[in-house]
Amino acid sequence: MTNAKQERSMNDLVLKGGRVIDPSQGLDKVTDIAFAGGKVSAIGDGLAGKDVRDVSGKVVSPGLIDLHTHVYWGGTSLGVEAELLARTGGVTTFIDAGSAGPGNFHGFRRHVIEPSPVRILPYLNVSFAGIFAFSKAVMVGESGDMRLLDPREAVRVAREHKDLVLGIKVRVGKSASGDSGIVPLDIALDVAEETGLPLMAHLDAPPPSRHEVVSRLRKGDILTHCFRPFPNAPIRPDGRVREEILAARARGVIFDIGHGGGSFGFGTTRGMLAAGFLPDVISSDVHAISIEGPAFDLLTTMSKFLCLGVDLPTVIKLATGNAAMAIQRPDLGTLKPGSVGEATVIDLKVGSFDYADSIGERMMGDKRLLSAGVVLAGRWWHPS
């Protein structure tokens, strides 16, 4: 058998001629990438395989990781379908940010996570009911009723599902915790400490204050909605990043965008970028409301950063390798040979595109990222 025939029999899939961008390897070049046995098998020119796809003019990145989503579809009012969003938005790993709590996590696992063709990794909400009333018609913050916050139950369920649960999620702010203020965060931190897990904290409008929340977070904890607009914005009117934000980054707190419907401002983002403060992770906070705008999906949120002057390799890094590090999964978010056989093929459009933030400010951008294909388990998955 010739070497070419041997190579074709070994590689299940080859993506040919794309711009392969993998920040985990410092790689940005036009070349081929091959997959075999569910893993990345090789990167280089002239590769052959059983299924060869021409992706010339497209970008090939590690499978996108959306660090903040809500995909408990059918079990919560805010859930969207992960598989549908993966097909349209190119995400291969969805991190569910606390849709389910101790009272309904088992249903999320059995009926949504386990049958899903795309990876779903969850945070457990400290509230027993999870995010149970989140819609255009009804909005009740799950942290506003202290009767729902039982730390023993949260610890019990986190331990029962320790093979799956990434960490503990808590939402505080005027909308999420009402009169309970900062107390749910302190309870969630107790649960996180007891289980040895990191915490993801949501903060909306005060109370509590940005300072109260950020000052409590530990190394490896995640502050989502980190570039939210005033109030509770991370930057002062004079353009200086607030001291508690700088101190939190210095001690290892992770800053995640979590765009959503009300948590991302162009003004805040321009100021933070001008101050040299990049987020650690770009995520969408896609849910049943924000999927209709202004967030839409992860690629749209990434596009906004691209139009605000962040270069494409960095934008990809913040939605792949950095997201993988945030959840302590270095096996994801990379195209290194031997790694998980997942990739997102991206079409970079140039033109005039209208974007909006969460408070109604609009921005005309000249770039737009769209999904052109998804590789799962080393096979071409979408479009078929």
Digits of tens for pLDDT over the chain (384 positions)? 345 555 556 899 999 999 999 999 999 999 999 999 999 999 999 999 999 999 999 999 999 999 999 999 999 999 999 999 999 999 999 999 999 999 999 999 999 999 999 999 999 999 999 999 999 999 999 999 999 999 999 999 999 999 999 999 999 999 999 999 999 999 999 999 999 999 999 999 999 999 999 999 999 999 999 999 999 999 999 999 999 999 999 999 999 999 999 999 999 999 999 999 999 999 999 999 999 999 999 999 999 999 999 999 999 999 999 999 999 999 999 999 999 999 999 999 999 999 999 999 999 999 999 999 999 999 999 997
* Structure-token match 């029962």, residue found: 160
Whole-angstrom CA distances from 112 to 82, 120, 172, 350 are: 9, 9, 26, 37
Q: Does residue 382 have a known ligand-binding role?
A: no
CA distance 383 to 358: 31
The pLDDT value recorded for residue 206 is 94
Domains of the chain with bracketed CATH: 3-61+338-349+367-382 (2.30.40.10), 64-326 (3.20.20.140)
Measured distance CA(42)–CA(54) in Å, rounded: 16
Does the pTM exceed 0.95? yes
Instruction: Check whether 28 is labelled as a binding-site residue.
Output: no
- Residues 6 or more apart in contact with residue 244 via CB below 8 angstroms: 210, 211, 214, 215
| Identity of the residue numbered 359 | I
Rg for the chain, CA atoms, rounded: 21
What is the rounded (10 degree) CA torsion for 69, 72, 74, 77? -50
d(CA 294, CA 191) in angstroms, rounded, equals 33
Helices 151-160/183-195 angle, 10° precision = 40
285 is in an annotated binding site: yes
- Of 94, 89, 38, whose CA–CA distance to 65 is shortest? 94
Question: How many whole angstroms separate alpha carbon 315 and alpha carbon 205?
Answer: 27
Residue 111 annotated as lining a ligand binding site? no
287 annotated binding-site participant: no
